[in-house]
Amino acid sequence: MLLTPGPIDLEREKVQLADSFGFCLERLAPARPEIRSWLGGDSPKGWAARLVDGTRLADFSFRKELLDGGWEKVQASDDPMIRFALTVDPVARKLRAEHDSGVVEPIQKAYTDLALFRFQTHPHTCYPDATFTLRLSYGKVAGLPGIPAMTTIAGAYAHAEEHRRADVFSLSDKWFDHRSEVDETTPLNFISTNDIIGGNSGSPVVNVKGEVVGLIFDGNVDSLSLDFLYSEKSARAVSVHSSGIREILTKIYGVDLIP
Distance CA 256, CA 250 (A): 6
What is the pLDDT at residue 242? 97
Distance CA 236, CA 212 (A): 19
In the chain the domains, ranked by start, together with CATH numbers, are 1-128 (no CATH), 150-252 (2.40.10)
pLDDT (mean) for 50-67: 92
Dihedral pair phi/psi, residue 231, rounded to 5°: -155, 135
Decide if 171 contacts 157 (C-beta within 8 A).
yes
Strand, coil or helix: 144: strand
pLDDT (mean) for 48-54: 93
pLDDT (mean) for 4-20: 88
> How does strand 204-206 pair with strand 212-219?
antiparallel
User: pTM for the full model?
Assistant: 0.56
Over the stretch 141-176, which tens digit does the pLDDT of each residue have? 999 999 999 999 999 999 999 888 877 778 989 999
What is the pLDDT at residue 44? 87
Asked if residue 241 has pLDDT above 90, the reply is yes
Distance CA 152, CA 185 (A): 6
